[in-house]
Chains A and B, each alone.
Chain A
């Protein structure tokens, strides 16, 4: 042994150094890594003292709080995917939405935006930012079948909403007044100029563009979709709701000054064509059960199967559709 050591001492030193270095490298590389653990063949997620919580037990705990919501999100995504063919228009619009959303997140979160965006997508059953386009394609498909449900005469939701909330497309012309009860000569002159332009046959939108002192002037006075729940000041809202399609109010006094308000449209076709998102948001606020009803109806149409009836029952309860489950 001594002879071997004497003869090969350099080689053995190199070998020992190599082994030592390798051990150090392995320890360093693996330090901070999460080691796994199993109990009776099941993966352990965490332990407190001697008590191990397996992934299956953890799943059951998580299911109490998140299970039905998660199944609903997955169902919504799957139904959207299967509901309609993806068109090139949908893809183009989805790409545009996705770019806008990314830009907004970047503005808000800077370099960490992807983590926040990923987290928000995961809450809706998507895995990563790479699926953002897919999310917006499904968003459009979901809106499409929601609108179909809402406006289906047999459903009745639209009629109830329209009767109660009186939706319309609204424009206005504003002349600002410091004290609307005591307008100045200059302010009254502006009112006269508007009156003269309209009497001269000029279009409401063109007069708004030329004379209105509200930011909507650049859009020809267009305020957009409104209903009885829109947060306009009381006098404006009250006057707006008295109008039929095409009608314009007399000058209406508010804290801002005086307004001429025009009802551009009360047509459902116009809402669907140009204001579908606003309209849908308003109806879903009016009747939150619309979405789960529509999603479930579409799922049944496509064909949905559960492997566990308890899961289905919990989902129906979550959606508020227990009676449909019976």
Chain B
């Protein structure tokens, strides 16, 4: 019984353990002194952490994850160089100072950021490839042509001509299609009126829709369904899904979860919880 009580007491001592705060070595080391005021490494560390709000940790982790999952290709490096050159030609001598004013400690840091963006795009495509079926279920990509008109009469004539089998480009030219003359990949995130989305979801391959009006009857559409099965236009479907604004972040969050991002400092945890809550593993 005594041993049981002793064990319980030991366990109770473990209760109320506080959160961990990671500390720099030599935190009391002086950086500079003015008059009677000394500023130490520890004080500067606390200040910098507060300013950062978790950004550097997330960025460092992101870089590590991207380097592990996506090789930096020559094309990526070339694209980054090209963007650097563009900025340099625009900004001239003030290129470096401009970048520093944007928060980059150096031009190398900016170039590193550009390369990371290239890698992130590749990661997104990889994510889409690996989750193609489920993403197609969510976003239902369809290959369509959509003709757009300002008046119902032109739309009606175009619709009749398309149903008659006339060429889309020719019909566009004849009746004044103000929309794209080429195929587009339509998804649930495409910015067309609801009635167009409904039509896209109900057409079979080769079908031409009726004339579809927007809510205030100022714009008229005719849809031609080209392909229903995303596997038949996979590259285009991947590009279209990659353009959906949440996909890149979904890809990165999945990579974070898979890579094991763990925090051992309460201040950093609080900062990331506040500013980047999605990156904290449950």
Residues of A near any B CB (own CB < 8 A): 8, 11-12, 15-16, 18-19, 22-23, 25-26, 29-30, 33-37, 42-49, 51, 53-56, 58-59, 61-67, 69-71, 73-75, 77-79, 81-82, 119, 122-123, 125, 299, 302-308, 311-312
Q: State whether B32 touches A304 (Cβ < 8 A).
A: yes
Contacts of B16 in A (CB 8 A): 29
Partner of A71, one of B24, B39, B68, B103: B39
Q: State whether A123 touches B50 (Cβ < 8 A).
A: yes
B43 part of interface (Cβ distance < 8 Å): yes
Known: A11-B1, A35-B264, A122-B50. A304 touches B34 (CB 8 A): yes
Q: Closest A residue to B44 by CB, please name it.
A: A70
Known: A47-B260, A48-B61, A48-B259. A78 touches B34 (CB 8 A): yes
Contacts of A73 in B (CB 8 A): 47
CA distance A30 to B261 in the complex (A): 20
Contacts of A16 in B (CB 8 A): 4
Q: Closest B residue to A62 by CB, please name it.
A: B48
B231 part of interface (Cβ distance < 8 Å): no
Partner of B269, one of A34, A56, A75, A123: A34
Q: Closest B residue to A119 by CB, please name it.
A: B50
CB neighbors of A among B217-274 (8 A): 259-266, 268-269
| A/B interface sample: 17 pairs, CB < 8 A | A29-B15, A34-B263, A34-B265, A43-B264, A44-B264, A46-B268, A47-B260, A48-B259, A49-B260, A62-B48, A65-B103, A71-B32, A75-B34, A82-B36, A302-B35, A303-B34, A304-B33
Q: State whether A56 touches B37 (Cβ < 8 A).
A: no
Which 7 A-B pairs have CB atoms at the shortest separation, nearest pair first?
A36-B20, A82-B35, A43-B22, A78-B37, A62-B48, A78-B34, A66-B48
Contacts of A44 in B (CB 8 A): 22, 264
Contacts of A34 in B (CB 8 A): 19-20, 263-266, 269
Known: A67-B44, A308-B31. A56 touches B24 (CB 8 A): yes
Distance of B161 from chain A, by nearest CB (Å): 56
Contacts of B51 in A (CB 8 A): 66, 69-70, 122-123
Partner of A65, one of B11, B105, B269: B105
Contacts of A70 in B (CB 8 A): 44, 47-48, 51
Q: Closest B residue to A18 by CB, please name it.
A: B8
Residues of B near any A CB (own CB < 8 A): 1, 4-5, 7-8, 11-12, 14-25, 29-37, 39, 41, 43-45, 47-52, 56-57, 60-61, 64-65, 68, 103, 105-106, 109, 259-266, 268-269
Q: State whether B261 touches A48 (Cβ < 8 A).
A: yes
Q: State whether A66 touches B32 (Cβ < 8 A).
A: no
CA distance A77 to B43 in the complex (A): 13
CA distance A40 to B37 in the complex (A): 33
Contacts of A119 in B (CB 8 A): 50
Q: State whether B56 touches A36 (Cβ < 8 A).
A: no
Q: Closest A residue to B100 by CB, please name it.
A: A318
Q: State whether A25 touches B15 (Cβ < 8 A).
A: yes
CA distance A63 to B18 in the complex (A): 28
Q: State whether A64 touches B11 (Cβ < 8 A).
A: no
Known: A36-B22, A55-B45, A65-B48. 4 other contacts (CB 8 A): A44-B264, A55-B25, A67-B44, A70-B44
CA distance A87 to B43 in the complex (A): 28
Q: State whether A15 touches B31 (Cβ < 8 A).
A: no
Main secondary structure of the interface of A (DSSP, over half): helix
Partner of A58, one of B18, B43, B56, B65: B56
Distance of B57 from chain A, by nearest CB (Å): 5
Q: State whether A46 touches B265 (Cβ < 8 A).
A: yes
Q: Closest B residue to A36 by CB, please name it.
A: B20
Q: State whether A305 touches B33 (Cβ < 8 A).
A: yes
CA distance A34 to B34 in the complex (A): 36
Distance of A146 from chain B, by nearest CB (Å): 17
Distance of B104 from chain A, by nearest CB (Å): 8
Partner of A42, one of B19, B25, B50, B105: B25
Q: State whether A45 touches B264 (Cβ < 8 A).
A: yes
CA distance A97 to B19 in the complex (A): 36
Most chain B CB atoms below 10 A, which of A15, A34, A37, A54: A34
Partner of B52, one of A8, A33, A65, A306: A65
Contacts of A312 in B (CB 8 A): 32
Distance of A2 from chain B, by nearest CB (Å): 18
Q: Closest B residue to A42 by CB, please name it.
A: B25
Contacts of A78 in B (CB 8 A): 34-35, 37, 39
Contacts of A65 in B (CB 8 A): 48, 52, 56, 103, 105
Q: Closest B residue to A8 by CB, please name it.
A: B1
Q: Closest B residue to A43 by CB, please name it.
A: B22
Distance of B60 from chain A, by nearest CB (Å): 6
Known: A66-B51, A70-B47. A46 touches B57 (CB 8 A): yes
Distance of A47 from chain B, by nearest CB (Å): 5
Contacts of B32 in A (CB 8 A): 71, 74-75, 304-307, 311-312
Q: State whether B37 touches A82 (Cβ < 8 A).
A: yes
Most chain A CB atoms below 10 A, which of B7, B20, B260, B261: B20
Distance of B160 from chain A, by nearest CB (Å): 57
Q: State whether B4 touches A15 (Cβ < 8 A).
A: yes
Q: State whether B43 touches A74 (Cβ < 8 A).
A: yes
Contacts of B1 in A (CB 8 A): 8, 11-12, 15
Distance of A67 from chain B, by nearest CB (Å): 7
CA distance A58 to B56 in the complex (A): 8
Q: State whether B109 touches A64 (Cβ < 8 A).
A: yes
Contacts of A308 in B (CB 8 A): 31
